[in-house]
Amino acid sequence: MKTEKQFAEIYADPNAKMATAEDLLDSMSTAGVDISVACGFWWSDATLAQEHTDYLTEVGEKSQESLGSRIIPFVPMQTSDPPHFTIGVGELRKNQRTDLGSVTDLQGVVLVHVSEEVGHEYPGKSGGLSLRELWLLLINNPNLRVIAAHWGGGLPFYGFMPEVRTLIASGRVIFDSAASQYLYTPDIYKLIPAIIGDSSVCWGSDFPLRSQLKDLRDVKANLSDKAFIKKFTSENAMKFLNINNEA
């Protein structure tokens, strides 16, 4: 994958973890997870992006036939895609094809990899959007709804700013907790909801980097309020994605 520098940065290490749809379904069964969002990669090559899209779409359709588990595909975005996404898109990262900070008129739901401005380096960090790029993506696309991964690179810490608070209160952005154990102390689970409210956060496992079961156990170990645990691990994301899981 010499042409895919971001992919190589993350997966050149022979110990890097990958997972198939079957691996994910097994993980969900073990952890007691009913629904997972499976994200594509931010490919430079349009052919690879389409192959990944086809695979995720097929996986999502097949999982609909399962009564116990469901996979929701978030597919790679192409420059030729229409401004309105009929399917979830992600994960979005920096790429030579598109300056996401200048994109306008996007509609639908996207998951964006947002990197912290400070702290240690790790594979894939350089490819994430900056806080400013995330901010511009949100304000330039008022009909776009964004899942900001990894606590949005720390954007919630700016929740004391009126304009940031107003944007978050609009319900167009939700911050997931993926990779928390590698980035923050456990205080993050309580601190972010205290700043921006407990309806704008949700659990993200970042599987297969980390076990879904272990990750869920850590969440429950750091949150004592059962009502909030339910919102954090399921209800907030289901509301944001308009998911009805009554069946």
Tens-place pLDDT, residues 31-88: 999 999 999 888 888 888 889 999 999 999 888 776 556 999 998 876 555 556 667 8
Instruction: Find the domain containing 73 and state its range.
Output: 5-240
Whether 72 and 107 have beta carbons less than 8 Å apart is answered as no
Question: What DSSP assignment string belongs to 96-113?
Answer: TTB-TTT--S-BEEEEE-
pLDDT tens by residue, 137-183: 999 999 999 999 999 999 999 999 999 999 999 999 999 999 898 88
The SS3 assignment for 61 reads: helix
Q: Which tokens in the block code for residue 172?
A: 């167009």
Q: For the residues 91-113, what does the mean pLDDT come to?
A: 74
How far apart (Å, rounded) are the C-alpha atoms in residues 95 and 104? 16
Element of type H or E holding 201: strand 201-202
Does residue 246 lie in a domain region? no
Q: Which tokens in the block code for residue 65?
A: 């036939």
Q: For the residues 87-97, what does the mean pLDDT come to?
A: 70
Residue 33, Cβ density class (10 Å: 0-12 exposed, 13-18 middle, ≥19 buried): buried
Does residue 144 lie in a domain region? yes
Does residue 199 lie in a domain region? yes
Quick one: pLDDT band at residue 96, thresholds 50, 70, 90? very low
Whether the predicted model's global pTM rises above the 0.95 cut: no
Does residue 247 lie in a domain region? no
Does residue 209 lie in a domain region? yes
Number of domains in the chain: 1
Does residue 245 lie in a domain region? no
Whether 188 and 157 have beta carbons less than 8 Å apart is answered as no
Does residue 23 lie in a domain region? yes
Does residue 17 lie in a domain region? yes
- CATH number of the CATH domain containing 182: 3.20.20.140
How far apart (Å, rounded) are the C-alpha atoms in residues 152 and 156? 7
pLDDT tens by residue, 179-223: 898 888 999 999 999 999 999 999 998 899 889 999 999 999 999
Quick one: pLDDT band at residue 245, thresholds 50, 70, 90? low
Per the DSSP assignment, residues forming a β-bridge with 174 are 147
How far apart (Å, rounded) are the C-alpha atoms in residues 10 and 29? 27
Query: How confident is the model at residue 15, as a pLDDT?
Result: 80
